[in-house]
Structure 1
Amino acid sequence: MKTILNLIWLIFGGIWLFLGYVVAGAILCITIIGIPFGIAAFRIAVYALWPFGRAAVERRDAGAGSLIGNVLWVILAGWWLALGHLFTGIAQCITIIGIPLGLANFKLIPISLTPLGREIVSTEQQFAGW
């Protein structure tokens, strides 16, 4: 079921969201200071490409640097990526078949706003006490 949902996701929004994160990551990697943000964008891009069967969990060892980085991230790229997920999710929820895709988009909004201090794991690892 995860594979089918991921394939439908890829066709009806996943590829565009993936490209948005890749563009954000490439722009952020232009400067040395932006490289950690660019790496975070590339990490989320892969998650946005194939989200079903994976989840974002908070890292216990994330400190104040993640908080400061997330504030900068929201200013630099997070707000418009979150808006992309919001509008895509609303559009996908219009149809009954698109509701799971829309809900997955809404699930991606928190990580698009605060990606630092989070890790993407499989759902099996998440429920195994990762």
Structure 2
Amino acid sequence: MRLLLNLLWIVFGGFIIALEYLLGGLLLCLTVIGIPFGVQCFKLAGLGLMPFGKDIVDAPGSSSIGCILNVFWLLVAGIWIFLSHIGLALGLAVTIIGIPFAIQHVKLALLALAPFGKIVRPS
């Protein structure tokens, strides 16, 4: 079932979401300061490509630097990414078929708020 849902996700927008995060990550990695943020974009791209069957958990031993980077991420990009995923989730939740996809957008939205100190792992 996860495979079918992931394939439907990829066909109906997941591939574009992953490409956007990959492009953002590549652009951020062009500068030394942007590398940590680019790595987080790659994390979001992986989850954005195939979100079904994956969970987000807190990383053990998260540092205070990660907290500071999360605040900076939230102010610069996190809020806008969060709002776009919530808007897509609300649009998908209108139909019964769209509810599983809406749940995945909420998962992506929560990760987009504070990606530092989080790990994406198989469920």
1:128 is matched with none
Query: 1:94: Cα distance to partner?
Result: 2.0
2:116 is matched with 116
Partner of 2:119, secondary structure, is: strand
Over aligned residue pairs, what C-alpha RMSD do you find?
1.3
Query: 1:45: Cα distance to partner?
Result: 0.4
Give the total of aligned pairs: 123
Return the alpha-carbon distance in structure 1 between the equivalents of residues 63 and 79 of structure 2: 22
Q: Which range is displaced more, 104-113 or 73-82?
A: 73-82
1:41 is matched with 41
Partner of 1:56, secondary structure, is: strand
Return the alpha-carbon distance in structure 2 between the equivalents of residues 106 and 18 of structure 1: 16
Query: 1:117: Cα distance to partner?
Result: 0.3
Letter in 1 for 2:72: L
2:89 is matched with 89
1:127 is matched with none
1:8 is matched with 8
Query: 1:37: Cα distance to partner?
Result: 0.6
Q: TM-score, normalised by structure 2?
A: 0.92
Letter in 2 for 1:20: E
Letter in 2 for 1:99: I
Q: TM-score, normalised by structure 1?
A: 0.87
Letter in 1 for 2:102: G
Structure 2 residues not aligned, in runs of 5+ = none
Q: Which range is displaced more, 76-85 or 60-69?
A: 76-85
| Pair 1:25–1:33, CA change in 2 (3 A) | same
2:74 is matched with 74
Q: Which range is displaced more, 102-111 or 15-24?
A: 15-24
Query: 1:55: Cα distance to partner?
Result: 0.8
Verify the 8 A CA contact 1:15 1:49 in the aligned structure 2: yes
Return the alpha-carbon distance in structure 2 between the equivalents of residues 91 and 13 of structure 1: 13
Return the alpha-carbon distance in structure 2 between the equivalents of residues 17 and 79 of structure 1: 16
| Pair 1:83–1:103, CA change in 2 (3 A) | same
Verify the 8 A CA contact 1:13 1:88 in the aligned structure 2: no
Identity within the alignment, %? 38
Query: 1:27: Cα distance to partner?
Result: 2.8
Query: 1:82: Cα distance to partner?
Result: 1.2
